[in-house]
Amino acid sequence: MILGKIEKDEKRVKFNVPIFCTDCNKSVPGRIISGEKYSQTREFKTELEHFKKNYLCGICRDKKRRQKN
Ligand SMILES: [Zn+2]
């Protein structure tokens, strides 16, 4: 998953982050990709926290979508 901004020709950094589905708690192998510069900013950390707090696995996402319809 790409998080934040990656400028053209910028070096990309990859992180392996433990991510858990916020609904069923299943752990999801999370690989986050971001630009080298952005990954060192506070915004990146905030965005990553936000992402983790709102993460749903594919199954729960489907479930939610179906409930809405
Ligand atoms: Zn789930």
pLDDT tens readout for residues 1-55: 888 889 999 999 998 988 999 999 999 887 899 999 999 999 999 999 999 999 9
C-alpha 11/C-alpha 26 separation (Å) is: 31
Radius of gyration (C-alpha) of the chain in whole angstroms: 14
Domain membership of residue 6 (yes or no) is no
Domain membership of residue 4 (yes or no) is no
Who surrounds ion ligand 1 at CB < 5 A? Answer: 21, 23-24, 57, 60
pLDDT of 13 reads: 94
Q: Tell me the CA–centroid distance for residue 59 and ligand 1, in Å.
A: 6
Domain count, the chain: 1
- Domain of 57 in residue numbering reads as 12-68
Domain membership of residue 60 (yes or no) is yes
pTM exceeds 0.75: yes
C-alpha 15/C-alpha 34 separation (Å) is: 8
Domain membership of residue 64 (yes or no) is yes
The dihedrals phi and psi of 36, each to the nearest 5 degrees, come to: -60, -45
Q: Tell me the CA–centroid distance for residue 32 and ligand 1, in Å.
A: 18
Domain membership of residue 3 (yes or no) is no
Mean pLDDT for 45-67 is 93
Residue 69 has pLDDT above 80, yes or no: no
Q: Tell me the CA–centroid distance for residue 11 and ligand 1, in Å.
A: 32
* Bridging pattern class, strands 12-20 and 27-35: antiparallel
Domain membership of residue 7 (yes or no) is no
E-assigned strands of 1-69? 12-20, 27-35
